[in-house]
Amino acid sequence: MKKSVLLLAVLFAAPFASQAQVVDIDGNVYDTVHIGNQIWTRPNLKVTRYRNGDSIPQVTDSIQWCNLTSGAYCNYNNDTSYVMAYGRLYNWYAVHDLRNLAPQGWHVPTYEDWDTLQVFLGYDLVAGGKLKEMGTAHWMSPNTGASDEYDFTARPGGQRTDAFYGCMFSELTQQGYWWSSSEMDTVYPWGVNISYNSEGMTNWAASTRKAGFSIRLISDTPQDIRELNKSDFFRVFPNPASDVVYITNAYGLKAGLHLYTLSGRLMAEQDILSGKNSIDIGWLPPGLYLIKLYGDDWTVQQKLIKTE
């Protein structure tokens, strides 16, 4: 029996461990994703107003942007066609504005929030790869180490440089820069950087408040995993499947998997690790199977349809 090439695809209703969505004041809808006990929005922020309804100024001129000491946003290259895929770019003054970029119950992550995420993912040398969207539809090749193990789907929105570099647009498809709400000192805020040619994730404090970076939001309230049904801990896809399926274990929950025929014959078994598990099912005959995910005191059973 090929225990290493096991299993599965189960028809969980939720796309990942989260079923919730967040809506900003402009009506933009963001899926959410659980990683550890944190809840993040995906994709990048697109909002053009603060929480109280006040507009965030859109500044297109580079000289004007360089002279700002208050909040503003822009679209990469002042082109709205990039917004859907990459979101908008904001200076740090907008992040720090007391009117808030985030809807109620959410905030721009602190340095500590980003650090907690890095630690959960195995820290800075591998965290970027685990967050990056796979492939080269949005990332420049080779998109090193990209596995998107937790459905964060980080995309490289580039940046608007600070005044030292003339407040110019650069590095779309190559680099992703995301603000934190924390400062290293009175000049340089903290952010993070993920690159197309590295699987690392860098704590970034090399640009001033005038730079334009992307933004993700994080929930004010950490998720207590005891509140979730065990079936919400995993995302399993695709189903039906013919050759490869994936199971994503967002919380690092200790779990095992058994694959059965409908007559009860055990076909495969495997431990389910934290992150994304890639599984070859090409060897299975087409048909209907049962997947059992289990822990010390719980089980979840679902159907798997194996196609030609």
Q: Read off the pLDDT of each residue in 94-101 and give the average, rounded to a whole number.
A: 97
Q: Which residues pair with 203 in a beta bridge?
A: 192
Instruction: Give the mean model confidence (pLDDT) for residues 213-225.
Output: 85
Give the amino acid at 297. D
227-238 mean pLDDT: 70
How far is the C-alpha of 47 from the C-alpha of 28, rounded, in Å?
A: 7
Predicted confidence band of residue 110 (pLDDT cuts 50, 70, 90): very high
At 224, is the pLDDT very low, low, confident or very high (cuts 50, 70, 90)?
low
Which range is least confidently modeled, 33-42, 98-107, 148-157, 289-298?
Answer: 289-298
pLDDT average, residue stretch 114-128: 91
Residues 155 and 85: beta-carbon distance below 8 Å: yes
Q: Are 127 and 117 in contact (CB under 8 A)?
A: yes
Q: Which one has a higher pLDDT value, 275 or 88?
A: 88
Section 18-34 average pLDDT: 87
pLDDT bucket at 146, cuts 50 / 70 / 90: very high
* Nearest CA among 233, 248, 230, 78 for reference residue 168: 78
231-269: burial string, b at 16+ Cβ within 10 Å, e else: bbbbbbbebebeeebbbbbbbebebebbbbeeeeeebbb
Q: What value does the mean pLDDT take over residues 54-83?
A: 98
| pLDDT score for 9 | 33
Least confident of 36-45, 66-75, 79-88: 36-45
Candidate ranges 168-172, 257-261, 287-291; pick with highest mean pLDDT: 168-172
Contact 270, 291 (CB under 8 A): no
Residue 304 banded pLDDT, cuts 50, 70, 90: confident
DSSP 34: E
The three-class DSSP label of residue 185 is coil
Give pLDDT, residue 6: 38
Give yes or no for residue 19 having a pLDDT over 60.
Answer: no
**DSSP letter (8 states) at residue 123:** -
Beta bridge partners of 307: none
Q: Is the peptide bond before 240 cis (omega within 30 degrees of 0)?
A: yes
| CA 305 to each of CA 202, 241, 301: distance values in angstroms, whole numbers, following the listed order | 41, 7, 13
- Region 88-113: mean pLDDT is 97
Percentage with pLDDT > 70 across the chain: 90
Over 80: is that where the pLDDT of 7 sits? no
Is residue 86 predicted with pLDDT exceeding 90? Answer: yes
Residue range 170-190: average pLDDT? 96
Which is more confident, 6 or 36?
Answer: 36
- DSSP tally for the chain: helices H, then strands E: 5, 19
Taken in order of first residue, the domains within the chain and their CATH numbers are 3-14+228-306 (2.60.40.3080), 21-219 (no CATH)
